[in-house]
Amino acid sequence: MTKQPSRPDTFIHVAQDLEVAGLLWHPEVGDEVADRDGRSPIAILVDPQGMTPDELRSTYLWLPTVEQIILQFEARQAVLFHAGLEFSDRRVCYKTVLHVQNGHIESMAGSFRVSLGLALRDLLISDAPIIVN
């Protein structure tokens, strides 16, 4: 399955899609976040200021790093078969290919992180019954 993003090619939109698809954030110092109200720029969580994980999740949108996305693939037993630039006569883009139990998932985007995020989103919403603790 190959999918293009339905929204602009920005990682904040992909992060919103990941959250809707069921990716749960366990807040940690060092995580990249964006304010849900959109008034502040992207930041690194350095001081939770006494907020509970639920309060952090309701205040901030988690922007998982490339490493965190790859860990999510591993937790779901998806094999990262290919991730990198793809050159063709029609386009230059980043392509991600995951091998999963019921086939493969492909995504393409203008940035490496967005391509990985789209593949994770598609993995989360795929028909495969995946249980992650």
Q: Where are the domains of the chain?
A: 2-125
Indicate if the pLDDT at residue 129 is higher than 90.
no
- 119-123 mean pLDDT: 97
Q: What string of DSSP letters covers the chain?
A: -EE--SS-S-HHHHHHHHHHTTPPP---TT-EEEETTS-S--EE----TT--HHHHHHHEEE---HHHHHHHHHHTT-EEEEEEEEE-SS-EEEEEEEEETTEEEEEEESSHHHHHHHHHHHHHHSSS-----
* 2 compared with 107, residue with greater pLDDT: 107
Give the residue with greater pLDDT, 130 vs 1. Answer: 130
pLDDT of residue 74 exceeding 70:
yes
Answer with the residue of higher pLDDT: 38 or 91: 91
Domain formed by 2-125, architecture = 2-Layer Sandwich (3.30)
pLDDT averaged over every residue in the chain: 88
- pLDDT tier at 88 (50, 70, 90 boundaries)? confident
Q: What is the pTM of this model?
A: 0.85
Tracing tokens 């019954």 back to the chain, one arrives at: 129
pLDDT computed for residue 49 by the predictor: 87
**Of 22 and 133, which is predicted with more confidence?**
22
